[in-house]
Structure 1
């Protein structure tokens, strides 16, 4: 097992950020009107279900422009205003069922989530990036839940080639609020064009997208993103995102809450990093610390 490392910014920056969270101050750019749900705890972001009751609907591929059939998950409440939107792409040769577990989990934390099949199971990352953006456009423009989504607060998530697609989507649409590629794969290893806060998740035993040639170079090249993090799952394979995983879910929730909802109450989980007792084994964690 690789030794666990925390390669954060300066210690003083971390302490300042945590003090900001505790004090409840809102830094420039944060909008508390976008915060959804109660103050988080370690247990609340680990939980398989969050504070919001959810519902779902299925959309056939005859109704989806630019991508395949989809499932949409959303909070049932209409009293808290709109929610941020998230599109999720599966990996190479896979269908949406392989990543569908994450849809209701994110929705229960206060997001409207579309998980879709790609046009072809063999689509490459650039095509998956286009389809992630098409799914967001559908979600906000013509879906049955469009009035529940804030079109200015959108994010992309994707596994494997879908993860490579998240980087493509973030490059093509810099106004995205967040990107999360779990065990992402792309032949392009450098992403200086990305201006979106990005959480890269790798797996120590990934033989399809090894961390040394994928997630770590991705993270290292994201120097122009306002914030970035790299989390490596200990003793995990490329297919860790294909089943319910607390490490992936909890860190994705914290990242989306912090950057889609500008909710500074979640900075504590990004700055301090995942602990073994709370999240399970993590073999490497590197990050900047959002104040």
Structure 2
């Protein structure tokens, strides 16, 4: 009696983020998707029908050049408004609990530090879930853009 199965999001980090995208394509009972720095593997169709938030690490010359275009393609095909937020000072392991126990090596855990890493990930995902699942009013794009470089993909592909 404590779970609200009428409002469910699927989320994952890295390969789990890719799996979350695929799960949402296959199971329309999910109401929202959060991809935490996951490279979309496999087909980008059928289109996502749920609002999607993709949080990505800071893009560097070492970033796979196919990553952002592939993720953008998946988000642009969506029939719901989707967001890609690239957060400065992050690395791949920022989006999980790595900053809590790994050495503070920026190439591994980013440069945000232990407290700020958790705060940024929690604040952005909570704002997204409040808007999409709880239908709380507010300027989601404004909240998200305070944390990094935001791209918004609307169903009509306008930005």
Query: 2:111 — aligned with what?
Result: none
TM-score, structure 1 normalization: 0.41
5 Å matches for 1:1-291?
147-188=1-42, 190-205=44-59, 210=63, 212-222=65-75, 223-243=77-97, 244-264=117-137, 267-271=138-142, 273-275=144-146, 279=147, 282=148, 284-288=149-153
Runs in 1 of length 4+ with deviation above 4 angstroms? Answer: 205-208
CA distance in 1, matches of 2:33, 2:61: 23
1:218 positional shift = 1.9
Q: Structure 2 length as normaliser, TM-score?
A: 0.71
Size of the aligned set, in residue pairs, is 135
Shift of 1:274: 2.2
Residue 105 of structure 1 is matched in structure 2 by none
Matched position secondary structure for 1:157: strand
Per-residue deviation, residues 235-286 of structure 1 (Å, max 9, x unmatched)? 421111123422221111011111111222xx313246422xxx4xx2x210
More strand by share: 1
Task: Flag the structure with larger Rg.
Answer: 1
Q: State the Cα RMSD in Å.
A: 2.7
The answer (yes or no) to whether the contact 2:57–2:86 under 8 Å persists in 1 is yes
**Aligned partners of 1:172, 1:225: CA distance in 2, in Å?**
14
- Where 1:158 maps in the other structure, the secondary structure is strand
| Residues 270 and 203 of structure 1: CA distance in aligned 2, closer, same or farther (over 3 Å) | same
- Report the Cα offset of residue 182 of structure 1: 0.8
2:108 corresponds to: none
Give the Å deviation of 1:186: 3.6
Distance in 2 between residues matched to 1:233 and 1:272, nearest whole Å? 13
Alpha carbons of 1:191 and 1:183: their partners in 2 closer, same or farther (altered >3 Å)? farther
Do the aligned residues in 2 keep the contact of 1:192 with 1:221 (CA within 8 Å)?
no
